[in-house]
Structure 1
Amino acid sequence: MLSDESLRRDGLSRPPAAGGPATAPHARPVWPLALTAALVAALIAVPAFAGSPHWLGRLSQVVTGSPLRPEHAVVLALALALVARGALLRRRAAWYGLVTLALLGLLAVVSGDDPPWRLPLLAAALGGLWLERGRFPVRPHPERVRTAVKTGALLLAATTLLSLVLGGVSVRSVGDVASGLGATGAPMDGASWLPGVLGLAGAAGLLVLVITLLAPDPAPPPGDEAERARVASLVLHPGSDTLAPFALRRDKAYVFSADGRAAIGYRVLFGMAVAGGDPVGDPASHADAVRAFLAMCRTTGWRPAVLGASGALLPAWGPCRSIGFGDEVVIRPAEFTLSGRKMRNVRQAVKRTENFGVSSEILPERELTPALRDKLLDVASHSLGGAAERGFSMNLDELLTGYHPGAIVAIAYGDDKEPIAFQRYVTAGEGISLDAMRRDPGGPNGVNERLIVEMVDYAAERGHGVVSLNFAAFRELLDSDERGLLEKAGYRALHLLDPWIAVESLYLFDKKFRPSYKPRSVVFRSWFDIAWLAAALLTLEFGRTRPAQRAAGPVTEPVHHLGRS
């Protein structure tokens, strides 16, 4: 029997008990509760605004009971606004916060500080919150709770020490410190500034505690070697997508379908859980893997997103939104030919390398000798100008380190028999995908075209149905002859930024091969996530990957990775 913790880690949940409600509590909308909390926060903030109508002030006291000082009203309103947002995101800590406010109100009524007519109102609110507790499945992560406890303890110690050491007053007890934070704001003897400082510290501490407890879970550690070996076996499934091999990056964590026959590799950044491409493994289990991924995001508070989803699987993401942002460039070896006028540029490029005495070979990465591997890494370093390897959705890591021994390397040699360029490919279901394309800047032009042509021939000989090349971002914009005002501005921006992002130049390079295009989309939960989504995607695609290291052993045995003999 799986434990609750293991189910949580795998993004699953236990089925409802027999006779239970047909609709899970977390499936019911929470916006009415969030809206109510936001309205209450707005009413609490009323005393902070001078010249508010008298009737609005009386309405404010319906929720506060007693009049509040303006500074206290601002702090409580901000805290409750954060709680309202947390309620919208189904955070259990937000539910705790609302219950705590209701209990404090009841305590104030019982103690005589608030009018007794508020008792039935608060009791009804408390009862309603208790009945709706199932709508808030996102529990605070233990690390967040520990941080909040430490922050609270540090704040209490700091304010106490401040009043004892710096206040210049005779403080007989911690109760005297608390009196300095009272609603009257009366100055303590000998330190008129102390109540204000303590109040400011208390306000900041309260907001920090609320933000900490409402934060999503921290990013998980990458998958361990056992999980990665499972994923490596799923990558080999004939139904896996051409982006499937990139799930084996060492910085990705994994969530598996209930039957274990499909998995999604993802990374968490800025609260966004970003999956790279479609699930890997059996297509019959892809939808279940998507459900497991979304369930995991619900229980951790992460915002789900996908970079590079195929159109065929978009319906599986349900109410999530999607934006097409480009196309994967694919060549079908059975249909590829160098004949014809349209392929003249490619033929000339290949012929040019032959005239320069360039030779080539294709071999498994596991067969590279240490000396050759070092020379190829030098080529990679020169090709990037010393910059770090980057990428996420269509890039693998551990370039030529031996960690991914199922990779195939196409190498070009100059007339002196020294390597001048190489390309690394990885198998994906019935196809192979380009991972890295590196060329020494001093080498002759045309070597990349030649290596691609030879890899297409290699794939055709071994029965691979597809060779996936690069990604053509914003292809329709770049390929359009008629552009409106916004399209012209977008095209101009891509053209100016091309020296750094190489979107246009890469598209023009791929276009020479007359390829097919497979649309890819970004999937995300809500338009409210768009800023965090953009920050996460840009960081993932253009941030540094982990440094290359010699691997102690392969991800999995490379059986069936290369040939189909």
Structure 2
Amino acid sequence: MLAAKPAGMRALPPVWPLALVTAAVAALLAVPAVTTPDWLDRLSLLVTGRPLAPAHAVVLALALGLVARGVLLRRRAAWYGLLVLIVMGLAAVLTGDDALWRLPLLVVALAAVWLSRDAFTVRPHHERIRTAVRTGAGLVVAAVVGSVLVGGVSIRSVGPAVAGGLGATGAPTDGASWLPGVLGLVGGVGLLVLVVTLLAPDPAPPPGDEIDRRRVAGLVRHPGSDTLAPFALRRDKSYVFSPDGAAAIGYRVLFGVAVAGGDPVGDPRSYGRAVDAFIEMCHRTGWRPAVLGASADVLPAWGRLRSFGFGDEVYVRPEEFSLSGRQMRNVRQAVKRTRNAGVTSEIVAERDLPPELRKRLLDVASRSLGGAAERGFSMNLDELLTGYHDGALVAIAYGENDEPIAFQRYATAGEGISLDAMRRAPGGPNGVNERLIVEMIEYAAKQGAGVVSLNFAAFRELLDSEDRKAVEKVGYKALHLLDPLIAVESLYLFDKKFRPAYRPRSVVFRSWFDIAWLAAALLTLEFGRTRPAARAEDAIAHPAGQFEHH
């Protein structure tokens, strides 16, 4: 139960009317570039004051279209852009270069933009500003160099030519007839690059440092932390803490989406405040907030964000687990086959692995994956077998000559033990994985762990259903055909043998308009290969001492 109801996304003044007007102005700017009725062409003069060349109109329309989107996303740079454009229009009217009848419209627009200033919470990142300055400087240098290299072109013509690409009407250029077009193209592209750069969200932050990670390790130890909590300790994650420091969220930023892995860790009474801190951070940086693997108990903390279930965490309660009964026959027989084959096993703390055994286990992992890289995000740790994650346990199976043939790594948390990696050498006897899971469950029961989390069953209800509708049949067929690549169905059938319980997990996101970016970010995080962080010299603090192996 959460102690405090989170505020969710902070209430801000609506910006869609301003975005709508900006988009309408962009449409009116583009009018001269297409064949239109005369009345619509005259209407465009409301915002231009004078006819524009088609190329200039299109460039400015595209730029203002981007600004309109930036207004919807509450980008501060979009607000500054609107302010500058209106002030420039006022200056043109007051200096006599434009019609005075446009003055009331500009004054009203200026007042509306100024009064909405507090709604624009996303300020441009200093790296974006530096990139924009360098881009602008590069355009000026290119224009000057181009003018010098072309004979008969006066320096005075460079400014109007580049300005023409930025939306002005341009000026005649002596000498090479192609230069105005080239400079105009460079200026137009440069303007769009500047706008896109300044409206972009903040770049991804660096991963949390070792001090933060030690803090998070202490929160993972909290009895209220659930079975996904240990995976917050991945070394590629950044962190945001609740104001009282009692809870934290581990996340990564990809494609402008800040993806939190599972629920917050730490004291459940502070989860709401950690969620508020995460949402507020996304407000400041322009990131789209998202969660992969939120539990049903914590979904209310995410307030007005949307969510949908995409599968279930598979877990077993050790005190309720037994190999007896007809339903456990397959598992019982699998364990018996390995014993008849002479397979032996042991459970050791990962940090206590001898170097030679560690080397042989890594070879098993490499052969198990066919040389592929380790992947995953929400239910996977990194630093396999290095001993960095000090609370990790390794269940090892040995074949003939005491040669390791399989192993499983488990991470420990306040609530229990979670399966992280399951590796078996090709050609190893069937039933080894079942045997190691059974022995870890028995070990967890002796250690007093309440839960052993096994795997994740994506789309479990679809796979488990016998009465599928037309769309569901298509989805099931796709999962079945793709199983050799993603192993969704085969992993579900494997887990089902243990008669487990299921905990629904959801994807949380801001808007359906974000769905394409969200899908790209989640698929890349779970299946894409990521560059590992620089290795630390020391292991982090033990996150779950109550499950120490003796």
Instruction: Tell me, yes or no, whether TM beats 0.5.
Output: yes
Tell me which residue corresponds to 1:264.
249
The one of 138, 141, 145 equivalent to 2:129 is 145
Tell me which residue corresponds to 1:169.
152
Tell me which residue corresponds to 1:14.
none
CA distance in 2, matches of 1:464, 1:399: 23
Say whether the 8 Å CA contact 2:388–2:539 is kept in structure 1: yes
Say whether the 8 Å CA contact 1:391–1:545 is kept in structure 2: no
Distance 1:214 1:549, change over 3 A: closer
What is the CA-CA distance between 1:168 and the residue it aligns to? Answer: 2.7
Q: Deviations over 1:80-117 (max 9, x none)?
A: 01000001000000000100110110111122221011
Distance 1:311 1:526, change over 3 A: same
Q: Deviations over 1:228-247 (max 9, x none)?
A: 00000000000001100000
Tell me which residue corresponds to 2:82.
98
Say whether the 8 Å CA contact 2:217–2:543 is kept in structure 1: no
1:456 aligns with 2:456: no
1:341 aligns with 2:326: yes
Say whether the 8 Å CA contact 1:327–1:471 is kept in structure 2: yes
Q: Which stretch shows the higher mean deviation, 202-211 or 406-415?
A: 406-415
Say whether the 8 Å CA contact 2:317–2:452 is kept in structure 1: yes
The one of 522, 529, 544 equivalent to 1:544 is 529
Distance 1:551 1:98, change over 3 A: closer
Distance 1:132 1:536, change over 3 A: same
1:360 aligns with 2:341: no
1:378 aligns with 2:359: no
CA distance in 2, matches of 1:180, 1:459: 75
Tell me which residue corresponds to 2:67.
83
What is the CA-CA distance between 1:55 and the residue it aligns to? Answer: 1.9
What is the CA-CA distance between 1:47 and the residue it aligns to? Answer: 1.0
Question: Which runs of 5 or more structure 2 residues have no equivalent in the other structure?
Answer: 1-6
Name the % identity. Answer: 73
What is the CA-CA distance between 1:367 and the residue it aligns to? Answer: 1.1
Tell me which residue corresponds to 2:265.
280
Tell me which residue corresponds to 2:143.
159
What is the CA-CA distance between 1:40 and the residue it aligns to? Answer: 1.2
Tell me which residue corresponds to 1:10.
none
Distance 1:23 1:260, change over 3 A: closer
Counting matched residue pairs gives 540
The one of 430, 433, 457 equivalent to 2:418 is 433
What is the CA-CA distance between 1:382 and the residue it aligns to? Answer: 0.7
The one of 114, 117, 125 equivalent to 2:98 is 114
Say whether the 8 Å CA contact 1:402–1:551 is kept in structure 2: no
1:492 aligns with 2:477: yes
Say whether the 8 Å CA contact 1:433–1:467 is kept in structure 2: yes
Give the 3-state SS of the residue equivalent to 1:158 in structure 2: helix
CA distance in 2, matches of 1:117, 1:555: 69
1:70 aligns with 2:51: no
Give the 3-state SS of the residue equivalent to 2:400 in structure 1: coil
Distance 1:206 1:41, change over 3 A: same
What is the CA-CA distance between 1:283 and the residue it aligns to? Answer: 0.3
Distance 1:185 1:134, change over 3 A: closer
Q: Deviations over 1:146-191 (max 9, x none)?
A: 00000000011112211221x33241x3x32123355555552231
1:420 aligns with 2:401: no
Give the 3-state SS of the residue equivalent to 2:452 in structure 1: strand
Say whether the 8 Å CA contact 1:99–1:129 is kept in structure 2: yes
Give the 3-state SS of the residue equivalent to 1:404 in structure 2: coil
Q: Deviations over 1:193-245 (max 9, x none)?
A: 11111111110000000000000000000000000000000000000011000
Q: Deviations over 1:44-65 (max 9, x none)?
A: 1111111x12221222111111
Tell me which residue corresponds to 1:321.
306
Equivalent AA in structure 2 for residue 177 of structure 1: V
What is the CA-CA distance between 1:415 and the residue it aligns to? Answer: 2.7
Tell me which residue corresponds to 1:55.
39
Q: Which stretch shows the higher mean deviation, 550-559 or 381-390?
A: 550-559
Q: Which stretch shows the higher mean deviation, 70-79 or 553-562?
A: 553-562
State the TM-score, normalizing by the size of structure 2.
0.95
The one of 228, 240, 250 equivalent to 1:255 is 240
CA distance in 1, matches of 2:519, 2:59: 31
Question: Which runs of 5 or more structure 1 residues have no equivalent in the other structure?
Answer: 1-21
CA distance in 2, matches of 1:282, 1:314: 16
Tell me which residue corresponds to 2:547.
562
Equivalent AA in structure 2 for residue 339 of structure 1: S
What is the CA-CA distance between 1:487 and the residue it aligns to? Answer: 1.1
The one of 466, 484, 488 equivalent to 1:503 is 488
Q: Deviations over 1:267-309 (max 9, x none)?
A: 0000000000000000000011001000000000000000000
Say whether the 8 Å CA contact 1:26–1:135 is kept in structure 2: no
Give the 3-state SS of the residue equivalent to 1:180 in structure 2: helix
Equivalent AA in structure 2 for residue 168 of structure 1: G
Tell me which residue corresponds to 2:160.
179
Distance 1:490 1:361, change over 3 A: same
Distance 1:381 1:547, change over 3 A: farther
Tell me which residue corresponds to 2:227.
242
Q: Deviations over 1:336-376 (max 9, x none)?
A: 11111111000010000001000101111111111111111
Give the 3-state SS of the residue equivalent to 2:18 in structure 1: helix
Say whether the 8 Å CA contact 2:147–2:153 is kept in structure 1: no
Give the 3-state SS of the residue equivalent to 2:506 in structure 1: strand
Say whether the 8 Å CA contact 1:331–1:466 is kept in structure 2: yes
Equivalent AA in structure 2 for residue 87 of structure 1: V
Say whether the 8 Å CA contact 2:383–2:389 is kept in structure 1: yes
Tell me which residue corresponds to 2:389.
404
CA distance in 2, matches of 1:205, 1:446: 62
Tell me which residue corresponds to 2:3.
none
Say whether the 8 Å CA contact 2:220–2:543 is kept in structure 1: no
Q: Deviations over 1:378-400 (max 9, x none)?
A: 11011101000000000000001
CA distance in 2, matches of 1:475, 1:170: 70
What is the CA-CA distance between 1:452 and the residue it aligns to? Answer: 0.3
CA distance in 2, matches of 1:91, 1:365: 47
Say whether the 8 Å CA contact 1:311–1:521 is kept in structure 2: yes
Say whether the 8 Å CA contact 1:325–1:473 is kept in structure 2: yes
CA distance in 1, matches of 2:349, 2:153: 79
